[in-house]
Amino acid sequence: EVQLVESGGGLVQPGGSLRLSCAASGFTFSSYWMHWVRQAPGKGLVWVSRINSDGSSTSYADSVKGRFTISRDNAKNTLYLQMNSLRAEDTAVYYCARGDVWEPWGQGTLVTVSS
């Protein structure tokens, strides 16, 4: 069974950092591009970042460029999102998703940026 499990969310102060993880199972992780998508409370889905299958290419939404870094460890079947200089507007549920297929999604991990 294909499964994505996000973790690492929590409460952080403005300006702080957090690293999210996405543990993948049930498929050949190293063959897929991966994405992070976020959803602020009561708002719509917003694409955040993507990484290619071997980690050599990344891209970011303008709103997080220079602050967030996507990476992956294919040996551990895990995707990461390092989030620095966090702002209140980064408060959201963060989902990871499998590129090309976009199913299934994990249940997400909530990040709350507040003092």
Least Å distance, CB 60 to another protein, is 9
Q: Is residue 62 near another protein by the rule CB under 8 A?
A: yes
Q: Is residue 9 near another protein by the rule CB under 8 A?
A: no
Q: Which is nearer to another protein, 31 or 63 (CB)?
A: 63
Dist. CA 79–CA 36, nearest whole Å:
9
- Binder among 22, 35, 81, 83 for another protein (CB under 8 A): 35
- Binder among 26, 76, 104, 114 for another protein (CB under 8 A): 104
Q: Is residue 46 near another protein by the rule CB under 8 A?
A: yes
Per-residue HEC secondary structure of 81-111 comes to EEECCCCHHHCEEEEEEECCCCCCCCCCEEE
Q: Is residue 25 near another protein by the rule CB under 8 A?
A: no
Strands (E), 1-115: 3-7, 10-12, 18-25, 34-39, 45-51, 58-60, 68-73, 78-83, 92-98, 109-113
- Binder among 95, 109, 111, 113 for another protein (CB under 8 A): 95
